[in-house]
Amino acid sequence: ADYWKSQPRKFCQYCKCWIADNKPSVDFHERGKNHKENVAAKIAEIRKKSVQKAKQDKKMCKQFATMEEAAAKAYEEDLKRMGLEGGTCTSRAKAETPRAQTAGPASTASAASTLSTVSTAYPAAYPAAQ
Protein backbone atom coordinates (compact mmCIF):
# COMPACT_ATOMS: atom_id res chain seq x y z
CA ALA A 1 0.00 0.00 0.00
CA ASP A 2 2.91 2.27 0.73
CA TYR A 3 4.57 1.40 -2.54
CA TRP A 4 4.46 5.00 -3.88
CA LYS A 5 6.39 6.27 -0.86
CA SER A 6 9.42 4.17 -1.69
CA GLN A 7 9.56 5.42 -5.28
CA PRO A 8 12.91 7.13 -5.78
CA ARG A 9 12.61 10.84 -6.27
CA LYS A 10 14.95 13.35 -7.73
CA PHE A 11 15.20 16.93 -6.56
CA CYS A 12 15.41 19.55 -9.27
CA GLN A 13 17.54 22.25 -7.74
CA TYR A 14 16.55 24.68 -10.49
CA CYS A 15 12.82 24.43 -9.89
CA LYS A 16 13.12 23.52 -6.19
CA CYS A 17 10.75 20.62 -6.67
CA TRP A 18 10.74 16.83 -6.55
CA ILE A 19 10.25 14.68 -9.63
CA ALA A 20 10.05 10.91 -10.01
CA ASP A 21 13.54 9.57 -10.58
CA ASN A 22 12.98 7.72 -13.83
CA LYS A 23 14.07 8.64 -17.34
CA PRO A 24 10.65 9.56 -18.85
CA SER A 25 9.70 11.76 -15.89
CA VAL A 26 13.09 13.47 -15.75
CA ASP A 27 13.10 13.99 -19.53
CA PHE A 28 9.56 15.36 -19.43
CA HIS A 29 10.48 17.72 -16.60
CA GLU A 30 13.69 18.90 -18.24
CA ARG A 31 11.91 19.61 -21.51
CA GLY A 32 9.41 21.78 -19.66
CA LYS A 33 9.38 25.54 -20.30
CA ASN A 34 9.38 26.32 -16.60
CA HIS A 35 12.46 24.15 -15.98
CA LYS A 36 14.36 25.67 -18.90
CA GLU A 37 13.65 29.17 -17.65
CA ASN A 38 14.84 28.21 -14.18
CA VAL A 39 18.02 26.69 -15.60
CA ALA A 40 18.70 29.83 -17.64
CA ALA A 41 18.17 31.98 -14.54
CA LYS A 42 20.48 29.74 -12.52
CA ILE A 43 23.21 29.90 -15.16
CA ALA A 44 22.96 33.69 -15.26
CA GLU A 45 23.28 33.76 -11.47
CA ILE A 46 26.27 31.39 -11.50
CA ARG A 47 27.94 33.42 -14.22
CA LYS A 48 27.49 36.58 -12.16
CA LYS A 49 28.93 34.86 -9.10
CA SER A 50 31.88 33.40 -10.99
CA VAL A 51 32.71 36.85 -12.36
CA GLN A 52 32.70 38.19 -8.81
CA LYS A 53 34.84 35.26 -7.71
CA ALA A 54 37.28 35.83 -10.56
CA LYS A 55 37.61 39.43 -9.44
CA GLN A 56 38.36 38.26 -5.90
CA ASP A 57 40.84 35.68 -7.17
CA LYS A 58 42.61 38.32 -9.21
CA LYS A 59 42.96 40.40 -6.08
CA MET A 60 44.38 37.33 -4.33
CA CYS A 61 46.70 36.81 -7.28
CA LYS A 62 48.11 40.29 -6.85
CA GLN A 63 48.81 39.54 -3.20
CA PHE A 64 50.48 36.28 -4.16
CA ALA A 65 52.54 38.02 -6.83
CA THR A 66 53.76 40.50 -4.24
CA MET A 67 54.58 37.63 -1.88
CA GLU A 68 56.37 35.77 -4.65
CA GLU A 69 58.35 38.86 -5.51
CA ALA A 70 59.37 39.28 -1.89
CA ALA A 71 60.30 35.61 -1.68
CA ALA A 72 62.33 35.83 -4.88
CA LYS A 73 64.15 38.88 -3.52
CA ALA A 74 64.89 37.10 -0.25
CA TYR A 75 66.11 34.12 -2.22
CA GLU A 76 68.37 36.34 -4.28
CA GLU A 77 69.74 37.92 -1.14
CA ASP A 78 70.39 34.47 0.26
CA LEU A 79 72.22 33.45 -2.88
CA LYS A 80 74.34 36.60 -2.77
CA ARG A 81 75.08 35.99 0.89
CA MET A 82 75.94 32.34 0.24
CA GLY A 83 78.03 33.40 -2.73
CA LEU A 84 80.01 35.82 -0.59
CA GLU A 85 80.34 33.54 2.41
CA GLY A 86 80.43 30.09 0.81
CA GLY A 87 82.75 30.59 -2.13
CA THR A 88 81.80 27.28 -3.76
CA CYS A 89 78.23 28.49 -4.24
CA THR A 90 79.20 31.51 -6.33
CA SER A 91 78.81 29.88 -9.73
CA ARG A 92 75.45 28.31 -8.81
CA ALA A 93 74.15 31.63 -7.50
CA LYS A 94 75.07 33.41 -10.74
CA ALA A 95 73.35 30.73 -12.82
CA GLU A 96 70.15 30.75 -10.81
CA THR A 97 69.62 34.44 -10.15
CA PRO A 98 68.30 35.39 -13.63
CA ARG A 99 65.79 32.51 -13.50
CA ALA A 100 64.44 33.74 -10.17
CA GLN A 101 63.86 37.19 -11.67
CA THR A 102 61.90 35.94 -14.70
CA ALA A 103 59.84 33.37 -12.77
CA GLY A 104 57.68 36.03 -11.09
CA PRO A 105 55.94 37.78 -14.03
CA ALA A 106 55.66 34.56 -16.08
CA SER A 107 53.87 32.62 -13.34
CA THR A 108 51.53 35.55 -12.67
CA ALA A 109 50.52 35.72 -16.34
CA SER A 110 49.80 32.01 -16.56
CA ALA A 111 47.76 32.12 -13.35
CA ALA A 112 45.66 34.98 -14.76
CA SER A 113 44.97 33.13 -18.01
CA THR A 114 43.98 30.00 -16.09
CA LEU A 115 41.51 32.06 -14.07
CA SER A 116 39.80 33.52 -17.11
CA THR A 117 39.53 30.05 -18.66
CA VAL A 118 37.93 28.65 -15.53
CA SER A 119 35.45 31.50 -15.08
CA THR A 120 34.15 31.26 -18.66
CA ALA A 121 34.17 27.46 -18.91
CA TYR A 122 32.43 26.77 -15.61
CA PRO A 123 28.93 28.18 -16.30
CA ALA A 124 28.78 26.40 -19.68
CA ALA A 125 29.79 23.08 -18.15
CA TYR A 126 27.46 23.38 -15.19
CA PRO A 127 24.17 22.05 -16.63
CA ALA A 128 25.96 19.10 -18.22
CA ALA A 129 27.36 18.13 -14.84
CA GLN A 130 23.88 17.78 -13.32
Residues that bind Zn ion (CB under 5 A): 12, 14-15, 35
The 10 Å CB-count burial string (b at 16+, else e) for 92-116 is ebeeeeeeeeeebeeebeebbeebe
State which residue, 36 or 73, has the beta carbon closest to Zn ion: 36
- Cα gap 34→119, rounded to integer Å: 27
CB 15 within 8 A of CB 38: yes
Question: Please, what is the minimum distance in Å from the beta carbon of residue 3 to Zn ion?
Answer: 25
Least distance to Zn ion, CB of residue 49, Å: 20
Residue whose CB is less far from Zn ion, 45 or 78? 45
Closer Cβ to Zn ion, 38 or 108, answer by number: 38
Minimum Å gap between C-beta 6 and Zn ion is 23
Contact 79, 97 (CB under 8 A): yes
- In angstroms, give the least distance from the CB of 15 to Zn ion: 3
Do residues 75 and 103 touch, judged by C-beta distance below 8 A?
Answer: no
Complex with Zn ion: residue 32 or 83, whichever CB lies closer = 32
Bridge partners (DSSP) listed for residue 9: 20
